[in-house]
Copies of this chain bind each other. A is one copy, B any other.
């Protein structure tokens, strides 16, 4: 990725965090990184092309964050992954960004290229969770859990908590939702 590309992606991130998906435009991104609109059009065909590129860039950064997660213990590792997805009320930037990602997810029926990126993201997330749960079963941390099913269930809970409470700005609800996810992980542990 060229440094201009990188700057465009970072500017896109800032615009999304500041004003959400519906206000995203090539003009706003150009303003944000002090470049010209024509420079952006040199790199991307249109807004859809740019946003599909941005989602791929986010997937790469999610991969790097997963790789940088040092927690080795299966429970700690699951908690670390949960924190990458469900934003904390103390972190307004992550709240806004996950809010925007949910907005874009609802646009996937109209944009196949966005859908492909979310497919990859969900698959990557599922395989990470499944591998961690499997390791927890092997080392005796977890007991009596089907790893595929439990990973699926955890993703549904994480998306449910984010989609239900974050757009509504319901921070008490968000904390209750986080506790639901925490109890789910606890329920897999050997008594």
The A interface is mostly helix, strand or loop, or mixed, namely helix
A107 B167 Cβ-Cβ under 8 A: yes
Instruction: Specify which chain B residues have a CB less than 8 angstroms from the CB of A99 in the assembled complex.
Output: 106, 109
A156: Cβ under 8 A from any B Cβ: yes
CA distance A155 to B159 in the complex (A): 12
Minimum distance in angstroms from A107 CB to a CB of chain B: 7
Which of A127-159 touch B at CB < 8 Å? Answer: 149, 152-153, 155-159
**In which size bucket is the chain A interface?**
20 to 34
Note all chain B residues with C-beta closer than 8 A to A168: 105, 108, 115, 118-119, 122
With both beta carbons as reference points, the residue of chain B lying nearest to A176 in the complex is identified as B152
A186 smallest CB distance to B (angstroms): 13
Listed by A's residue number, 12 A-B pairs whose Cβ atoms lie within 8 Å are: A22-B22, A22-B110, A99-B109, A105-B168, A108-B168, A109-B169, A115-B169, A119-B168, A122-B168, A152-B176, A156-B180, A159-B163
